[in-house]
A and B are shown apart, each in its own frame.
Chain A
């Protein structure tokens, strides 16, 4: 039978026949992921299950990226639990310190995820790898403990919403704007229990990093996965990151979709998600004059080298407005070095930015950029829930690196095309 992308990938990992949305199937997993916040609970459950070894020590990734470099004694104790477990189990892919980065930027870079994989992670943004054609989804710690022990887990086959983009992108409009626009349109529960499958000429032309930015925010529409076909670009990316044997992947002709959306990007302006939900999306120009106290550029959504280049193009020869704290966090050590070697740090430092280590830090109100009451932040991260980056009385606006950089310079939310 004809399969859409979600069904096709699930079918490749199960002996049962995938026939319809809503069916429960048990699938073998390609990689299991947890971080410094979720792994301690997973380890507790893993031990409670009486498990003594992980299903495959090469198919487990433990990435300590959230509260690291450890922000306090309690977070240091949690990382210690993860470190000791990784050692005890002989886990190959344990990352902390100088070889560690934001997990969803790090794993693709290390070639640990690729087309047709099933990846489960105790982190909701695990869906990022959909950008490479992987069925990747977030789960809680105990589900992850089960997957660590058994190497498999159950899934409800999701109905799929197909989203096609066509038209011509305006300058300073890109992947972040495309996904924010979609979330604004379908809402934070518009994709609940569903798969999003992206396609169309705009997607074909989008870089792999851009596709990962879009897939990353599928969860902000409530979706289980955000899937992209694996094309020649995907295969080139995978090969460049040390993978071999990956094959192109696309939905079958005649595949069934619950809903098909066709969106034109022509004339679309940069998009901004206003407090306090990612679906409260408006055109950047409607927000002119809104003063900002902080701008954050980084995270699993927009902390990759293309994002830093995009920010640098706006910041070059300019300075952050007096009173705006501009915080730039390259997402992995490799990206950090690349940005340094390309001279981006000179641009950032000349602009008055703080360049910090790879960490999730401020995105979830962990550390390195917490907001006080009444403060407003423009951020390239993925969530603007009330209190997400600090005080319940603070505000987070989500946007692309170009908009965040332009807003830092202007001191107010600003369209980079009009700077």
Chain B
């Protein structure tokens, strides 16, 4: 699968309160959460985002609260992929469970700039920076995460397990 979109750079340790502040946690609706995505980072941040745009972050993206509303807000905002130097672990699990793709690229994240157009090949694990012409090869998605993605996320995976039990 190919995703092409504009890069939006954010800093290190972007916490889930920044991604979706607690005052919005009175709903589970992805549209409402998406409309308020990154409201804790910068009010109105979402206005700059078009469907299929990509967040490029420094280290420890998604730290803090376990709120699954964070990946839901990103997906609701039309962001299918987050590229970062590293991710916080609860957020990492949540993202895969929700179908948000995370690409951990280490220092290579510095080769991507705000406003660059990126083409992400999810199958090959490659990010092509269409603005600079440079390519980044990502570490493969761990097998256990790939199994989860192949099953279509954790919900269908558990559904299959439960059906097999009966």
Interface residues of A (CB under 8 A from B): 24, 37-38, 40-41, 44-45, 48-51, 66-67, 72, 74-75, 77-78, 121-124, 126, 138-143, 145-146, 149-150, 154, 156, 188-189, 192-193, 219, 222, 224, 277, 364-366, 383, 385-388, 392
Contact = CB atoms under 8 A, between A and B. Distances in A.
B90 A139 contact: yes
A364 B64 CA distance: 11
B155 A45 contact: yes
Contact of B88 (A24, A45, A51, A192): A192
Interface stretch (B2-10, B13-21, B107-115, B121-129): B13-21
Contacts of A78: 26
Contacts of B69: 41
Given A139-B66, A364-B22, A222 B163 contact: no
29 contacts: A41-B69, A74-B26, A77-B26, A122-B66, A123-B65, A123-B66, A124-B90, A126-B66, A138-B90, A139-B66, A139-B93, A140-B98, A142-B68, A142-B153, A143-B94, A143-B154, A145-B154, A188-B60, A188-B63, A189-B60, A189-B63, A219-B90, A222-B63, A277-B13, A364-B22, A365-B23, A383-B65, A387-B18, A388-B17
Contacts of B66: 38, 121-124, 126, 138-140
Contacts of B93: 139-140, 143
A122 B66 CA distance: 6
Interface centre among B66, B72, B154, by most chain A C-beta atoms within 10 angstroms, is B66
B78 interface: no
A365 B22 contact: yes
A74 B27 contact: yes
Contact of B158 (A40, A51, A141, A156): A51
Given A142-B98, A189-B63, A49 B28 contact: no
B133 interface: no
A394 to B, nearest CB: 12
Which 8 A-B pairs rank lowest in CB-CB distance, beginning with the nearest?
A: A74-B26, A140-B94, A140-B68, A189-B60, A142-B97, A138-B66, A124-B66, A49-B158
Contacts of B163: 50
B161 interface: yes
Given A74-B27, A142-B153, 17 more contacts: A38-B66, A38-B67, A50-B163, A67-B25, A78-B26, A121-B66, A124-B66, A139-B94, A140-B97, A143-B154, A192-B86, A192-B89, A222-B63, A277-B13, A365-B23, A383-B15, A383-B65
Contacts of A24: 144
A140 B90 contact: yes
Interface in B24-75: 25-28, 40, 43, 59-60, 63-69, 71-72
A193 B90 CA distance: 9
Given A122-B66, A123-B66, A222-B89, A364 B162 contact: no
A386 B68 contact: no
B13 A188 contact: yes
B104 to A, nearest CB: 11
B63 to A, nearest CB: 6
Nearest to B144: A24
A222 B12 CA distance: 13
B150 to A, nearest CB: 15
A145 B158 contact: yes
Contact of B97 (A44, A126, A143, A219): A143
A139 B71 CA distance: 13
Contacts of B155: 45, 48-49, 142, 145
A143 B66 CA distance: 11
A149 B162 contact: yes
Contact of B60 (A74, A77, A192, A388): A192
Contacts of B13: 188-189, 277
Interface in B140-166: 144, 153-155, 157-159, 161-163
Contacts of B18: 385-387
B28 A40 contact: yes
Given A154-B144, A192-B88, A222 B17 contact: no
A387 B89 contact: no
B101 to A, nearest CB: 16
Contacts of A40: 28
A145 B97 CA distance: 11
Interface string B79-106: 0000000101110011001100000000
Contacts of B28: 40-41, 44
Interface centre among A24, A121, A141 (most CB of B within 10 A): A141
B27 to A, nearest CB: 6
B49 to A, nearest CB: 19
Given A75-B26, A78-B26, A140-B97, A150 B161 contact: yes
